[in-house]
Structure 1
Amino acid sequence: MSGVTLERPRAEVVRVVLDDPDRLNPQTPETWAALTTAARGLPAEVRVVVLTGRGRAFSSGLDRAAMGTLAHLATLDDAALDATIASYQEAFTVWRRPGVLSVAAVAGHAVGAGFQLALACDLRVAADDARFRMAEPSLGLVPDLAGTGPLVRAVGEARAVELCLTGREVGAAEAARLGLVQLVVPRAELDAAVDDLVEAVLATPAGAAAETLDLLRGAAERDAAHQQGLERAAQARRLRSLAAERSGPREAGTSTRG
């Protein structure tokens, strides 16, 4: 699918791999269409999605060869241009699906669209050679792939301004200090570290994990009364679900997603 490969190591986990390693996994509108299709088609039992890149880099960003293709966007009327960019953004916003945790496993360069794809995930695990850079402003553009909000939430407005307007590179250690990534490991240990994280997440009952994840997403933007109301409603659903499980018949040897 336009340089995107799907892997299914277990029923609850899907790995979405940017798979053009010889060119450091560049992105095109076709890549974004493939990512959207992959996300829309996730089976109901999937609880964790890992996004990563094959080879030496997570993603080098927009394929320079696609710049000419994108030039035609300026010829579109306002409504068509807005709709087209919105379709590109969906490839980045679609990963925060209800009840599904998304994890970016980042090695090497995550530049521009690559950086924004990593920001699209709930969590980021980085190899010690990871390098992040928001390159769009230096090209006369803006970061328009839904990355500005997550960046500000991760590092604060002032730091986000500095990173975007200078276009400087952020290494893995600094990314951890800034809150861009949650864990940094040696390159050779990246896959194992992500697998350990996935196993820890899957050890939490699925229903509780899904409700908690949905509560935490966007919590910073809600007022206290709204957030507390959502907590009460979620806990009521959990209590009723647990009570139903305990009172209902269960076959020997079966388990629940909880």
Structure 2
Amino acid sequence: MAQAANGAGEPPTEDELSRAGLRLRVDGHVARITISRPERRNAMTGRTWTTLAHIGQTLPEDVRIVVIAGEGDIFSAGIDLNMFTPEGVEGERSLVAGVLDGSADADDIEGHIAELQAGFLWLRRPDIVSVAAVRGHAIGAGFQLALSCDIRILAEDAKFTMKEPALGLVPDLTGTKPLVDIVGVNRAVEICLTARRVEAAEARELGLAELVVPVEELEGAVDDVVAALLATNPEAAAATKALLQQAAGNTLEEQARAERRAQVDRLTSLAKAMGAGA
């Protein structure tokens, strides 16, 4: 495993990754994260998400692309439902035990959820491009993890389902905003409150997938996108992603001003590089 960036702390150990149901491989500018709990259909737990946050905090500085996939023929069945039992998952905090025994109040629970959300939020950082490579089912938290990524490449057998409302819950792992941003409020309501499957072809039509390919071509398609992303100047890529992320919340005048400021920075950097090379 590559060394962590200076000052970023130590990356998770192989044992920590294994207990979280994750694998991590860093190869130069590309980090590949695999959800690996095949015995639970790649269902995730709180430890999965806090370890994802740890990965994000300790990535080497030169990593530019993060690819997330699931082991085998499924991306993720979502949250491990044992998290909602009083016993929880071995070695982890149950999501309901503190309510049942009175040891956790609303602030405690909200703080814990914030810790779990951190595993999803870092994938939006401007200095990286995150890619979800989705095979089979991406249910609930799995769907939200894919929504956290900048680019979603789906195999033809991929299926998205937002299961939380059917379980008496709400989607709380940062998935509601990107879903509404992509498909609009009305379609998002329909997808969430019916908990129906959105298959790959429809996902592409709705804008939930940038690319849909045959199952056997998924790995190659991801590699092609990664290569194209790496061919772009990293500083320009980060500045452009930051601009695009703020565009929806800006007026045209505000966005034009943001573009000007970003371009001044880029022109200044280019000029300095030219001067240094003279």
* Shared fold per TM-score greater than 0.5: yes
Show the counterpart of 1:155: 183
Partner of 1:253: none
* Alignment of 1:129 onto 2:147: no
Indicate the residue corresponding to 2:13 in structure 1.
none
* Distance across 2 between alignment mates of 1:155 and 1:22: 33
1:174 is aligned to: 202
Deviation, 1:22, is 3.0
What code does the residue aligned with 2:110 have?
D
Report whether the alignment pairs 1:164 with 2:192. yes
Deviates more, 1:133-142 or 1:64-73: 64-73
Partner SS state of residue 98, structure 1: coil
Q: Does 1:200 align with 2:228?
A: yes
Are the aligned partners of 1:18 and 1:25 in contact in 2 as well (CA < 8 Å)? Answer: yes
Measure, in 1, the Cα distance between the counterparts of 2:159 and 2:246.
27
Maintained 8 Å contact 2:154/2:218:
yes
After superposition, where does 1:11-30 map in structure 2 within 5 Å?
11-30=28-47
**Which amino acid in the other structure matches residue 150 of structure 1?**
P
Displacement of 1:233? 1.0
- Residue 73 (structure 1) shift: 4.6
RMSD: 1.1
**Counterpart secondary structure, 2:265:** helix
* Contact in 2 for aligned 1:21/1:56 (Cα 8 Å): no
Unaligned runs of 5+ in 1: 251-258
Structure 2 counterpart of 1:47:
64
Shift of 1:98: 2.4
SS for the counterpart of 1:204 is coil
CA distance in 1 between counterparts of 2:73 and 2:40 reads 9
Pairwise CA distance, 1:123? 0.8
The answer (yes or no) to whether the contact 2:21–2:35 under 8 Å persists in 1 is yes
Instruction: Check whether the contact 1:126–1:185 (CA below 8 A) recurs between aligned residues.
Output: yes
8 Å Cα contact 1:24-1:56 kept in structure 2? no
Please say if 1:72 is aligned against 2:72.
Answer: no
- Using the alignment, how far apart are the partners of 2:112 and 2:235 within structure 1? 36
Superposed CA deviations along residues 118-160 of structure 1, whole A, max 9, x for unmatched, are 0001110000000100000000000011100000011111000
Query: What amino acid is the match of 1:124?
Result: R
Query: Which residue in 1 is equivalent to 2:78?
Result: 61
CA contact (8 A) 2:40 2:80 kept: no
Alpha-carbon distance in 1 for matches of 2:70, 2:56? 16
The residue that corresponds to 2:172 in the other structure is: 144
Offset at 1:90? 1.0
> What amino acid does structure 2 have at the position aligned with 1:64?
L
Letter in 1 for 2:70: G
User: Residue type matched to 1:140 in 2?
Assistant: G
Q: TM-score, normalised by structure 1?
A: 0.94
What residue number does 2:146 align with? 118
User: Could you state the TM-score of these two structures normalised by the residue count of structure 2?
Assistant: 0.87
Aligned length: 249
Deviation digits for residues 154-199 of structure 1 (CA, Å, limit 9, x no counterpart)? 1111000000000000100000001111100011111110110010
The percentage of counterpart residues that share the same residue type is 49
Query: Are 2:79 and 2:141, in contact at CA under 8 Å, matched by a contact in 1?
Result: yes
Q: Kindly indicate whether residue 48 of structure 2 is the aligned counterpart of residue 31 of structure 1.
A: yes
Q: Is the 8 A contact 2:36 2:70 kept in 1?
A: yes
Q: 1:106 aligns with which of 111, 127, 134?
A: 134
Kindly provide the amino acid, as one letter, of the partner of residue 71 in structure 2. R
- Given that 1:104 and 1:124 are in contact with CA atoms closer than 8 Å, whether structure 2 keeps it comes out as yes
Structure 2's unaligned 5+ residue stretches are: 1-16, 86-93
**More divergent stretch after superposition (170-179 vs 60-69):** 60-69
Q: Out of 242, 267, 274, which is 1:239 matched to? A: 267
8 Å Cα contact 2:159/2:199 also seen in 1? yes
CA distance in structure 2 between the aligned counterparts of 1:171 and 1:139, rounded to whole angstroms: 21
